[in-house]
Amino acid sequence: MTVTTHVVSVSGGKDSTATYCMAVERGMPFRAVAADTGNEHPATYEAVNRLHERTGGPKVEWVKADFADRIYAKRAYVEKHWRAGLLAGTPGKWVWRPLSSWVAAGMAYPDAPLVPLDQYEGRAPAVPHEHGRWVWQQGYRPLTEAEADEVVETALTWLRPTGVPFFDMCIWKGRFPARKAQFCTHELKVGPIDEHVTRPLLAKGNVISWQGVRASESEARRYLKPFQRLNSHPDLPGRLIVYRPLLRIESVDEVFAISARHGVPANPLYGWGLKRVGCFPCINCAKDELALVDEFFPEQIDRLEDWEIGVSKCSKRGVSTFFNIINDPVMQAEWTASENLGRRLVVSPEEHGIRRMVEWAKTDRGGRQYSLLARDASTVCSQWGACE
């Protein structure tokens, strides 16, 4: 007889909490698992850790990504390869960017460059086109031997595991995740749960993975099915089936009501006006949410500032910011101007990092009204519900 194990993924958010409560209502044995990203608010840890006390269900098991081996492998690569690349530099070049790329990124299409020809420093200016633009892909000047040695030495000093998964992931990558490079969900949540829970269970039988996903929350989720068999583990004998019990629930009030009837209060962060509580803050948080984080939890901003410094030290180019600078219309204009002129914009955590993004988040006029991320953007976490 094949053994089937039900596994509920929990994040501390409203949807995963309601999913856990629905599993309790079914009256069947199940396991509950949460991934510790190292980027959670204490209220979220408490909400997850007390679920079993409030409902009588199973205690949530925590798993955690470990990047130590990958960080040490990067150290070896930095020692062997970085110096030569830094000494050589990277030349800039004109590249074609279609109009669709601005639309996909949620950016305003830039106006045609109106600058004197002598400002192009000998380079031919790009000709505007109705279907796109030629823009300058910024390069990096060759470093001197002393400068290259300093960059390598600094990176090797910082490239050491800290035990904080989110930060370790970023120093290994040399950058923060972003909307178009959203590796955080897989590296911090999907991967560790798969390694520590799903794969061992599939080696013995089938797994039904309960996920707190609602179709009404994004375009990507609208086309999901309540039950879906995944062929992601062909090397294992068991079958993996995803179950989405909340998929057809549209009302947020109904989601909260499911938890309330089990005596489970909402995560306190919702009471502060936040809409995302898994990762704090999330790289996909909206402008108004970032302002709330700064107002009520300034220590979180201090932490991100420290992380920006550390990750920048582990970046070959010497800079990485938590949010993409094009999220802020003013910084986007600076970047666009540099592309128009074919010049390199010097980016730094001090000038373009979390502090400046927070200041933008507090504004609402003067043409600075973009959101950090459109609410229905299609992302990995929007499909898996790993953060809600």
Task: Give the global pTM.
Answer: 0.86
Calculate the alpha carbon distances from 358 to 249, 291, 294, 362, 365 in Å.
Answer: 34, 6, 7, 7, 15
Strands 132-137 and 240-243: unpaired
Q: Which one-letter DSSP state was computed for residue 215? A: G
**Residue (of 233, 161, 234) closest to 197 by Cα position:** 233
Beta-bridge mates of residue 129: 132
Least Cα distance to 159 among 88, 92, 74, 95 occurs for 74
Rg (CA), the chain: 23
Tokens of 271: 């009471």
Q: Could you report the average pLDDT of every consecutive run of 10 residues in the chain (388 residues)?
A: 93 96 96 97 96 97 98 98 95 76 58 49 57 73 95 97 98 92 94 97 97 88 91 94 96 96 96 88 89 94 96 93 80 72 74 90 63 46 56
Going along the chain from its start, the domains and CATH numbers come out as 3-64+184-278 (3.40.50.620), 69-179+284-361 (no CATH)
3-class secondary structure, 4: strand
Query: Which pair of tokens denotes residue 51?
Result: 């679920």
pLDDT per residue as tens digits for the range 307-362: 999 999 999 988 999 998 767 777 877 777 776 666 667 788 888 899 999 998 98
- Evaluate whether 214 touches 247 at the Cβ level (below 8 Å): yes
Are residues 94 and 135 in contact, defined by beta-carbon separation less than 8 angstroms? yes
Task: Name the DSSP letter for residue 248.
Answer: T
Q: Are 330 and 130 in contact (CB under 8 A)?
A: no
Residues in the chain: 388
CA distance 243 to 213: 9
Residue ranges in 4-144 assigned as alpha helix (H): 14-26, 42-49, 51-55, 68-77, 83-88, 99-104
